[in-house]
Every structure is written in C-alpha cells, then in structure tokens.
Amino acid sequence: MEQKNKKKISTQTIIKLLLAVVLLSLSAFLLKGDVWTFWTWWLLAGVMGFAAMPVTGRLFWRFEDKGWIFSKVLAIAATGFLTWFLTAIRLIPFNALTCAAVTILCAVICFFLLRKESKEKTECFPVDRISLIYWEELLFFLAFLIWTYLAGFRPAAYGTEKFMDYGFMEAMMRSTTLPARDLWYSEGHINYYYGGQYFAVFLTKLSHTKVELTYNLMRTFVAGLAFAMPFSLVYQMMSDRMKGLQKSEKVIKGLPFAAGFTAGTAVSIAGNMHYVIYAQIIPLIEKLTGKEVSSYWFPDATRYIGYNPYREEDRTIHEFPCYSFVLGDLHAHVVNIMFVLLVIALLYVWLRGVRKKTVPVETSMKDGKFWKEQLLMPHLLVISALLGMFQWTNFWDFVIYYVVTLGTVLFANIIRFQGKIKKIMVVTFAQMAEIYLLAYLVILPFTLQFDTMVDGIGIAKYHSYFYQLLVLWGLPTVLTITFVITILWEKLRGMEHKSLYRLRNAIRTAELFALIMGLCALG
C-alpha cells in the first residue's frame, strides 16, 4: 500500500514538472526576446510574495493556501507604498537602489517574524497544501502569459488615455522626487491620481527594466492577478461552505476548483449583457426578419448610456476589467483592481475570524481591554492603510470600498454583539471613524500637494433609462436576488422554530459574505 502511494506521488510530481516545463517553453516560444522581461516580473512577484508569507500567512491563516496569491500583491503594496511615502516626505530619493533597499528591509523584517513564528510553532506556509499552491501559480502564470501574448499584437501606447499613462511612467522614471514634474512642462508637478502608474514604475525600477516593455507588462500582470485572486478567494469560500457536510452531500470533489475557476473567468473576462443582446440576439432577429444586420464594435459595451440613443445630458462610461485589458490603458482604476481584490479577501478572512468570537453579553464598554480588541484588529488596520492608498491610486475605489468595509463591519458586529443595539452602533461608529482617520493620515503626503478637480458629490439632475440599467446590470442583479431568496428558503425551510437569531446562526460565513457583497453591489 505504501509503495503504491509513493508511486502515485512520484507520478504526480513528474506530471507537474512536465507541465511546468511545457508552460515555460511555450512562453519562450510565444514571447521570443521579450520572455526575459516576462520571466523577470513573474519571478520578482514570486520572490516578493514568498518573502511576505510570514505576514500574509498570519493574515490569511484560515485559508488553505495561507493567502499565497495575495502575498504577491500585499508585498507590492507594502514595499511600493513605503518607498513612495519616504520619497514624498523627502527622506529618500526615488531610484532603483532605494526601491531595492526598502524591499530588502521589508523582507528582513518578515524573516525575523518567521523566526518568531517558528519558535511559537505558528505555521505561515502551507507545506501540506503545496499542490494547491502549484495549481494557483500555474493558473496565474498561464493567465499572465496569455494576456502578455495578446498585448504583443497591439503594443503601441497610442490613443485614448495611453499617452498620458505612458507619459506619467516616463516622467517618474527620470525623476528622483515624487510627485514628478508635469510631463506637459507646466512648471508644476503631476496633479493627478498617479498611484497606479507609480506602482508600474516601482516594479520597473526594481526589476531594472524599461517602460517601453513594462507599460504593457503591468496591465497583463494585473490581468493575470484578476484571474488568480478571485480564483483563490472563491475556492476558499466554497471549501468553507462544504465543511461539515456528509460525504454523500459532497457531490463533486472538485467543486471549489470549479467555483474558483468560474470566479476568475467572470472577473477577468466577463463584461455585461450588452454584447449578448446587441451583438448576438438583435443581429439574429434582424437576419431572420430579412433586415440589414447591425455592426458591433467592442467599446459599444462601455459607451451605451447616453450614446444609444444619444443623450447629451446623460452620457457615461461604464468600463469593466476585460475592456481595459484589451484596450491597453494603464489608468488608475486598472492597476487598482489587484489592490481592491486584496481588500475584499481581507474582509472575508476577517469576517470568518471574528464571527467565531462572539463577545459575551456582560462585557462592559468601559473596559480598556474591550476597546483595545475592537480597534487594534490587524485586518482592519491593513484595510485602513489600503483604503488610504486608494485616494492616491483611484479615489472612487476609496469611496466604494469604504462603504463595503463598513457594511461588512456592521454585519459582523450585529453577530458578535448578539443584537445589542447600543454596542453594535457604538463599536461600528468607532471602527468607522478609526478606518477613516487612518486612511486620511497615511495618504497626507499626497493630499497636501493635490489640488482637487472635484466640486463634491450631489444629487443627479438626469436619470438613465431603466431598460439600459437592466441591460448592463440586470443579470448580476437577478443572480444576487436569486441567491438571497435561495439562501433564505434553504435555511428557513429546515427550521422548526423560525427566528432571526436562528437564521443568523444557520447562514455560513461564506454565504453571509456573498450576501454582504451582493447587497453592497446592489446598493
């Protein structure tokens, strides 16, 4: 029996090695001379992620892979943001040497944390789940490779916002101070949300490569992560959802993998229903009725409201990740996708942890230990720093994910404090204020030098046609509402004595988190 198992393990290892060799060979064949830069970035992200695992492993200790894919983004966010912060307050120059020095310093800190964890016998790297990490890394490499190969067919940074994005990168490449001088020679500095392009330059300087190569590589790198990160998160959510079920109920052993793959595909490739209706259904009807078939151009799916039919007062752009990846822009909202996915994953792992620690009813809010526990939660502190960073990378993401974070915090507190309204409201407001204050403080070097271009948020004067909203967001809305109804029906049907308290306890954390994200999206 033992010999059979060893033989099986040996065969699996050989297959995995062969698969890795095939992918490496395929990348060399497809990318030719550019493959060295591609490999450099892939290895750099892997090494940075590996160095950050002592921290990531603690934050994601409830994940089977200990947050392996997310460690890449956490490492880039931490080292890149720290380098920017020290440069912005004029402590260090922005060059390749300081980028490397800050990165190495962060790696050394993680190394000492690893030694501490080994003494405490805390596992930060999932040695027993190395197979899962292999498949995640393989999927990331494959997605990164495919997008990089496709980008090679149209690599020119020309049209739309490409020239501005490329100009920002070149301006920062030749600058040792931040913000860099304005590329339009206005005698001022860049007055824009340049954080996304900054991270591209940070990795360019760190890898000792050139902007003409890394402009496209950054967008394909983000596109690869836009597949791998949702895969890892939803894989874990489905695994958590299936825990405790009888073997007979586990119909498909590979269901977590299938769910993760679907999530990765949906985030990185799917768009809205505009293409299905206007490029498939309507032309088919026109063909069957003998009419002239309408033409379709892929940006039509992002230029719909106010464009078809034309309405000057109500024109808007509603992009989705795949459109940006294909188009080739390296704008703030594109790069920030990977940091947004990191925030969402941190919210899930935090919710999963705090839900198991319901606070005793008799706990007094006057107790200092109580407030220390509520305000010094590591996940919320990291999320606060990331939300602050969003004000510099893509401000709308700060507004959106501040609300999403508060929604998650509110639901968590309702559960933790067992419906005690006063405690729920006081703690939620305290955490809301803490998150906002920390987010405000960490980004001060940017906001103090930034002249805002926004007058504020007001009530919309014009309103879009309802049918157009349904075309764009009808499908996810229907899916979310169906999911909510299904969960409520499933849980309430099995209850002998129906109550909100029993319903709350019956809903698993993965289901609850999906509900929260769905409701936030509808809101």
Supply the DSSP string of 223-275, one letter for each residue: HHHHHHHHHHHHHHHHHHHHTT--TTT---TTHHHHHHHHHHHHHHT---THH
Helix (H, G, I), strand (E, B) or coil at 413: helix
Note whether 67 and 126 are within 8 A (CB): no
pLDDT of residue 155: 82
How far is Cα 429 from Cα 417, in angstroms, rounded to an integer? 14
* φ, ψ at 107 (rounded to 5°): -65, -40
Of the chain, the end-to-end C-alpha distance in Å amounts to: 56
Q: Is 298 left (phi over 0), alpha (psi -120 to 50) or beta?
A: alpha
* φ, ψ at 307 (rounded to 5°): -110, -30
* φ, ψ at 382 (rounded to 5°): -65, -45
pLDDT of residue 499: 65
For residue 181, the cross-strand partners are 189
Q: Is 317 left (phi over 0), alpha (psi -120 to 50) or beta?
A: beta
Say which residue the tokens 């509520």 belong to. Answer: 374
Note whether 76 and 106 are within 8 A (CB): no
Q: Which of 103, 45, 392 is nearest to 220 (CA)?
A: 45
Say which residue the tokens 């906001």 belong to. Answer: 447
How far is Cα 56 from Cα 135, in angstroms, rounded to an integer? 19
How large is the greatest C-alpha to C-alpha distance in the chain, in angstroms? 77
Q: Kindly tell me the sign of the dihedral angle through the C-alpha atoms of 508, 511, 514, 515.
A: negative
Burial of 54 (0-12, 13-18, 19+ CB in 10 A): buried
Question: What is the SS3 assignment for 150-184?
Answer: HHCCCCCCCCCCHHHHHHHHHHHHCCCCCCCECCC
Q: Name the DSSP letter for residue 303.
A: S
Q: Which long-range contacts (CB under 8 A, 24 or more apart) does 166-170 make?
A: 166/211, 166/215, 166/330, 168/192, 168/194, 168/197, 169/197, 169/200, 169/201, 169/204, 169/211, 169/214, 169/215, 169/330, 170/211
pLDDT of residue 83: 97
Listed as ranges, residues in the chain with pLDDT below 70 are 1-9, 117-125, 127-128, 244-251, 358, 360-364, 496-501
Q: Kindly tell me the sign of the dihedral angle through the C-alpha atoms of 353, 68, 435, 369.
A: positive
Note whether 156 and 293 are within 8 A (CB): no
pLDDT of residue 438: 96
Distances (CA, A) of 474 to 348, 466, 515: 26, 10, 17
The tokens describing 274, both together, are 């505009």
H/E run at residue 310: none
How far is Cα 106 from Cα 122, in angstroms, rounded to an integer? 20
Task: Give the list of residues 6+ apart from residue 172 with CB closer than 8 angstroms, or none.
Answer: 94, 178, 180, 194, 197, 198, 201
